[in-house]
Amino acid sequence: MTAFIFWVLLLAAALFWPVSKLIWTFSVRRQQRKLQMELGEEEVLAQKKRARFISVFVCLMFSVLYNLSRLGIPTNG
């Protein structure tokens, strides 16, 4: 069980930065398209904070599901 948690946290940590950047980029571009103007520094920082918050959950869920599938638990084999 300890090894499982270690690998889950390791994969989640490795994925956190690229996933948060991807979510942030999509979020900023969507806001710019919606408002039809460049975002200010405050809005960009708010989107970055939001992207980091979302990416924590996305990375943890993906990491748990991936590690469970590597163990063969969902397919019983």
Q: What is the pLDDT of residues 17-50, one digit of tens each?
A: 999 999 999 999 999 999 999 989 999 999 999 9
Residue 3 pLDDT more than 60? yes
Of 77, 27, 75, 76, nearest to 49 by C-alpha is: 27
What count of residues does the chain have? Answer: 77
Provide the pLDDT confidence category of residue 1 given band limits of 50, 70 and 90: confident
- Under DSSP, the state recorded for 73 is T
For 21, the 3-state DSSP assignment is helix
Stated pTM of the model:
0.83
